[in-house]
Structure 1
């Protein structure tokens, strides 16, 4: 008996020592950049100043998750407090009281899509329970620790400590018994379609399975053509195992296509004993998931994986090093930089295999680079993808190549590719805008002729009825080509977002401008001239009588009545007043329509005075920077500073609304640095005043740019003068080429606008 107690004490001591080592490593990390990231930010109803007037609480949810994984991973690992893979329900909400396990998630951060192809691992103790209502357990945030590389929580109801870490395609979960007990692991593919499969190999200690993916938006619940596959290896032998469907348990070792199916494994653990759960994921096969696991983790211990993934984040976040006495602003900044590096999603296995785009379980193999999906394109082409172009051009190149591959395999360049499938979830044709933005910045290691062919097809052709219903091509393209705008008679019936004709016209005009820039460079003069002319189509839906964009019929008459500040059916997620300012490629032309620079300034003033600026409306993200086109650029500095203070904060409620795959966060990163890509295709950035005392950006060409703000006092926000590499810089915008050449950009800030 004494010998057994000695063994138990020794086991507990060693376990405690490992926890001490991990705690020490985490404490060491607290001296670095990763300590500033708040993964829970955006997981609760917003508490920011700007959100308090929003009555609909669903509009105040950022829908992010505390994702544990390296940047742009295949799978993010998250604590799960919410059942289902249904639309608009994230796996984790901070205010939920129950813990359902650690989920291998493919939730699109900050979105209102759905999780897909996921599975969950839940540890319980005592008696076997397989119904979620029975096994869900209370947990406390005081027991939670979360970084981009590590998650920990204590489950007092089970006396189990649960920890998780991850690599690009794999996860490692460690369960520690805090008292001697029977412990069970529940592994559930999270299908809400009564599909899926799981199998136990007791002899090898392995579990494998899959969860078929279904589409929403364009696709209406149809199979997406692939599954989320998993392969799990347990480092400790289990004494019992079986499968279940809901509360019904069976001794069988496999189950398929049942409601709430899963597998259970049983262990006898002494106090301090641990279980390590090694899990590989894939979108092609169980075999590939196993290979991913063997390649990325194999038998590495938990602490080693935490350390490696922490270092990956340190390097990635450390591309921008900010220095400032305000620790709060640094936490908001690095949390934003973390959120801006969740998507697009890595989709290929370590051997280069990935499922054919919009295919039917056909595996393709890459010749070079990596293949990515989940492009929330309507949102992220504005700032999140330009941020990647600036910091990680090689990754942006893989993104562009992935879009070309999708177009080749599916026949059409996708509009909003998610679930490795076509959707027409939002408006615009912004794969074109992104490729043009990357191309014009010299990111060109892909087949530009194929890219051009596909972009041109979207811009000039209408798909057949079957392809169109599946989400291919531009919605309303025939009307757009015929009239030079989309008239109200075309209600765009075959799309998730119907109507919205004015917004579509505005965004197609920008995409035409984007494609024109490539046509010119490739020597396609006829296309260039035609597309350049089409880029002015925004003029056709600008009503000079009201000084704003407005719904228009095919005969040229205007929609009545006109409500400039109401949500109208011809506008996407906004109002006519808000969308009038979406002409990023031709501000001089818009200024002429509005009656001159002073009128532009007056209209901007009116928008902000009436509190009609909506930061949650992506087409408005450029609006605060448009004062740079007036005689009062100081108002850009004023409004951007205000928005950063009001729309972003700390803690779980630190985002005012949907983060939209990192777009909202990328806006903050740019704004805090002092510049923003109003027109990403042009390669120009509009200047504002930087937030931090100093920021050093390290580019992948080996050069560094130091941005310094010399403030008259703590509250100084207005630019008095700017010095670039020792010389006065008097413009309101700066080029991409100038930035990546590195050097020193100094802003001298004062308390009052320079014009006063």
Structure 2
């Protein structure tokens, strides 16, 4: 595609209503800098809305999915881009002044954190090279920029058309000038290892001042001709008329077309009041974050809590337009589809871009379904659109593509848990049909990570025939994460969750089919070594075997971490280990050893292969073993859950430093959600997938937690957790009362919580 260029202008906002940090204004307590030293493309966000299509933030590092985007310790801003999503990027711009295009492509500018403001929905910084103040905010689908230039300086905006931008090589694009203040166009995200097809992102741009000049570069070198500005290294430099120092720019985004991008812009942002948009964005963030109100602990604890909740509400992005149109790329061809409309002509739900739901059974399944059930319902409906379009319920779609990220059928627990919790505003029969397909031959379980064109990497045929997935898989390598024991354990758990839905729907035959398969975890447990262990295809155990060797049969984990992945039958696992007491003693020792390394494999995902860190028995820096502290509760020792969960929160999820916080693997809300749940003392070991799901009560760090229940889904007004005598030392629950009645088991059912009420916990420094 050729790039016909005209002017494009991005305005970065500056004026900001500096918000006081108060508990009544939770957005002001969020610290987006946390762990930004270890940032990845979709991790850091500032000028965005919850689940926003637009994620407008500065980029200090442009290349790669990891170590890119905004990184706190980088000292130069390379661009301001509008899409920071799973395997997608788009439209990087930068205001400049007194700049002349030449052979040099170093447009970046130093900046200082001392003159920077970053809060949910707003970002302000100074470009020191150009002495330009940049401010950014957004609506759901439109970025809004405000730039303040030096007096009497030239006003210019640089727009990149092609080049490496985060996870994507932007291979080409087009820019067209519609009038003196309006532009539109698109860029092409080239295929990646994870996202198989070219994916266009369309945009529409409006400036509040006239475009005076345009210069560009591309395949033909420097040029004023739009036809010459295209290719993998291309862009334009716009000059802007007018004597005003302040320049405003609005940028609408769409995955469908330029016209749809313009529709999004005009519908969501018909005015030029930048401060009003900042105010509305703050109000929207407060409305989401304010659904959980916490009191007590320290101000630092509350700031970190709302930072965790902030992360739980982003990363997974809207990709449908304001009128419900969306792009379907499941076949490799860009097709425009339509979300069903309600009687008022509005889309019934949104369509989404999302990383995997791998690990969501212990994180967003509980948090979203209880606190944001309307979001859960939208996501389920979005998954069903992918099923209707491409034939599979996805486990991590990207801009209309299947990506087959990670392994198994990770969407199954998410959907089953939604149904079991009464969230049923979707076609249940269609969902059940799609989930059964995923769990049978021809479904998504057959595919290993990012296995686009074959269906052998998941070892699914061996799982069905022999009851376990061998390692290595005899046919060879077809994707990532072809680790037999991990796949066996994951399939068995997900089969159990599907059996629960079959039971709820009265399908006894399927219930027995999947229940029987859920016992397959036993086939990868080696009683001689007392570990989950890789097996050859002939059934013999892999030798030699080191349970602390990383990625040797276990996806992003070692055998010690993977051994505990039986969330649906911990009693059965304990029996294999020689009884409950032996299992508890063994797990407790694993925590004692893990504490010496801080409960994580280093401070970033990249350090998991470090010779020392990879040998940690339990790793709370990645998803495979983040349930382990609540295993004690399920095996009858809740005091150990209370002790270790508090220790983990204190060591890993309490800081506000840019250097750490999630240890580099915050997969679009999963670790943020986990931190939230551990701090309020709620967990669901099996992902909340049984009938009337149970919540295990942990050790809240706050004096009071109030969860406002959505009245469209749940009959109660508030679910309140109060603690008496709480402190960093008083981590144990001495006595529990639910609605003034004793609660000895420290479990509550979903039906109890959603009718509202108060859980009162008397805390102590002595275990019961």
Do they superpose with TM above 0.5? Answer: yes
Q: 1:295 to 1:29 in 2, by over 3 A?
A: farther
> Could you tell me how far 1:23 is from its partner in structure 2?
4.2
> Could you tell me how far 1:238 is from its partner in structure 2?
2.5
Q: Give the conservation status (yes or no) of the 8 Å contact 1:218–1:496.
A: no
CA–CA separation in structure 2 for the residues paired with 1:25 and 1:241: 36
Q: Which residue of 2 aligns with 1:321?
A: 293
Q: How does 1:216-255 map to 2 (within 5 A)?
A: 216-218=192-194, 222-224=196-198, 226-245=199-218, 248-253=221-226
Q: Aligned match of 1:91 in 43, 66, 69?
A: 69
> Could you tell me how far 1:341 is from its partner in structure 2?
0.5
Q: 1:734 to 1:471 in 2, by over 3 A?
A: farther
Q: Which residue of 1 aligns with 2:619?
A: 614
> Could you tell me how far 1:522 is from its partner in structure 2?
1.7
Q: Which residue of 1 aligns with 2:729?
A: 715
> Could you tell me how far 1:400 is from its partner in structure 2?
0.8
CA–CA separation in structure 1 for the residues paired with 2:553 and 2:229: 46
Q: How does 1:154-553 map to 2 (within 5 A)?
A: 154-192=126-164, 193=169, 195-201=171-177, 203-218=179-194, 222-224=196-198, 226-245=199-218, 248-253=221-226, 257-267=230-240, 270=243, 273-359=245-331, 360-367=333-340, 368-462=348-442, 469-470=452-453, 475-488=458-471, 490-491=473-474, 493=476, 495-553=478-536
Q: Give the conservation status (yes or no) of the 8 Å contact 1:414–1:472.
A: no
CA–CA separation in structure 2 for the residues paired with 1:492 and 1:353: 41
Q: 1:128 to 1:449 in 2, by over 3 A?
A: same
Q: Give the conservation status (yes or no) of the 8 Å contact 1:462–1:473.
A: no
Q: Give the conservation status (yes or no) of the 8 Å contact 2:472–2:482.
A: no
> 1:296-324 CA deviation, whole Å, 9 max, x = no partner?
01224101111111100010000001112
**TM-score, reference length from structure 2:** 0.88
CA–CA separation in structure 1 for the residues paired with 2:242 and 2:56: 25
Q: 1:269 to 1:82 in 2, by over 3 A?
A: farther
> Could you tell me how far 1:154 is from its partner in structure 2?
1.2
> Could you tell me how far 1:670 is from its partner in structure 2?
0.3
Q: 1:304 to 1:246 in 2, by over 3 A?
A: farther
SS of the residue 2:576 aligns to: helix
Q: Aligned match of 2:673 in 660, 666, 670?
A: 666
Q: Give the conservation status (yes or no) of the 8 Å contact 1:234–1:275.
A: yes
CA–CA separation in structure 1 for the residues paired with 2:579 and 2:104: 63
Q: 1:361 to 1:132 in 2, by over 3 A?
A: farther
Does 1:690 find its partner at 2:700? yes
Q: Which residue of 1 aligns with 2:587?
A: 604
CA–CA separation in structure 2 for the residues paired with 1:319 and 1:477: 42
> Could you tell me how far 1:214 is from its partner in structure 2?
3.3
CA–CA separation in structure 2 for the residues paired with 1:176 and 1:504: 54
Q: Give the conservation status (yes or no) of the 8 Å contact 2:180–2:211.
A: no
CA–CA separation in structure 2 for the residues paired with 1:227 and 1:712: 53
Q: 1:726 to 1:62 in 2, by over 3 A?
A: farther
Q: Which residue of 1 aligns with 2:5?
A: none
SS of the residue 1:660 aligns to: coil
Q: 1:418 to 1:474 in 2, by over 3 A?
A: farther
CA RMSD of superposed structures (Å): 2.5
Q: 1:490 to 1:355 in 2, by over 3 A?
A: same
Q: 1:299 to 1:726 in 2, by over 3 A?
A: same
CA–CA separation in structure 1 for the residues paired with 2:762 and 2:658: 34
CA–CA separation in structure 2 for the residues paired with 1:658 and 1:132: 35
Q: Which residue of 1 aligns with 2:604?
A: none
Q: Give the conservation status (yes or no) of the 8 Å contact 1:380–1:660.
A: no
CA–CA separation in structure 2 for the residues paired with 1:446 and 1:485: 34
Does 1:704 find its partner at 2:718? yes
Q: Which residue of 2 aligns with 1:653?
A: 659
Q: Give the conservation status (yes or no) of the 8 Å contact 1:155–1:161.
A: yes
CA–CA separation in structure 2 for the residues paired with 1:484 and 1:631: 30
Q: Aligned match of 2:639 in 634, 657, 672?
A: 634
Q: Which residue of 2 aligns with 1:65?
A: 44
Of residues 238-247 and 382-391 in structure 1, the stretch that sits farther from structure 2 once superposed is 238-247
Q: Give the conservation status (yes or no) of the 8 Å contact 2:183–2:205.
A: yes
The gaps in structure 2 that reach 5 residues or longer are 1-12, 341-347, 595-616
Q: Give the conservation status (yes or no) of the 8 Å contact 1:191–1:212.
A: no
Q: Give the conservation status (yes or no) of the 8 Å contact 1:198–1:263.
A: no
Q: Which residue of 2 aligns with 1:15?
A: none
SS of the residue 1:106 aligns to: strand
Q: Aligned match of 2:100 in 117, 124, 128?
A: 128
> 1:465-487 CA deviation, whole Å, 9 max, x = no partner?
99974377982211111111112
Q: 1:28 to 1:235 in 2, by over 3 A?
A: farther
> Could you tell me how far 1:562 is from its partner in structure 2?
2.1
Q: 1:194 to 1:351 in 2, by over 3 A?
A: closer
> 1:149-197 CA deviation, whole Å, 9 max, x = no partner?
1100012221211000001111100001233201210111354346222
Q: Give the conservation status (yes or no) of the 8 Å contact 2:705–2:720.
A: yes
CA–CA separation in structure 2 for the residues paired with 1:194 and 1:651: 33
Q: Which residue of 2 aligns with 1:677?
A: 684
Q: Which residue of 2 aligns with 1:50?
A: none
CA–CA separation in structure 2 for the residues paired with 1:471 and 1:338: 38
Q: Give the conservation status (yes or no) of the 8 Å contact 1:117–1:190.
A: no
> Could you tell me how far 1:711 is from its partner in structure 2?
1.4
SS of the residue 1:504 aligns to: helix
SS of the residue 1:709 aligns to: strand
Of residues 572-581 and 653-662 in structure 1, the stretch that sits farther from structure 2 once superposed is 653-662
> 1:733-752 CA deviation, whole Å, 9 max, x = no partner?
22222222211111111112
CA–CA separation in structure 2 for the residues paired with 1:606 and 1:567: 19
Of residues 457-466 and 323-332 in structure 1, the stretch that sits farther from structure 2 once superposed is 457-466
Q: Give the conservation status (yes or no) of the 8 Å contact 1:378–1:427.
A: yes
CA–CA separation in structure 2 for the residues paired with 1:343 and 1:321: 23
Q: 1:631 to 1:30 in 2, by over 3 A?
A: closer
Q: Which residue of 2 aligns with 1:6?
A: none
Q: 1:30 to 1:570 in 2, by over 3 A?
A: closer
Q: Aligned match of 2:569 in 586, 589, 601?
A: 586
CA–CA separation in structure 2 for the residues paired with 1:643 and 1:28: 26
SS of the residue 2:46 aligns to: coil
Q: 1:538 to 1:578 in 2, by over 3 A?
A: same
CA–CA separation in structure 2 for the residues paired with 1:473 and 1:449: 28
CA–CA separation in structure 2 for the residues paired with 1:492 and 1:38: 48
> Could you tell me how far 1:247 is from its partner in structure 2?
11
The gaps in structure 1 that reach 5 residues or longer are 1-17, 46-59, 109-113
Does 1:138 find its partner at 2:144? no
> Could you tell me how far 1:554 is from its partner in structure 2?
3.1
Q: Give the conservation status (yes or no) of the 8 Å contact 1:145–1:153.
A: yes
Q: 1:247 to 1:70 in 2, by over 3 A?
A: farther
Q: Aligned match of 1:727 in 741, 749, 754?
A: 741
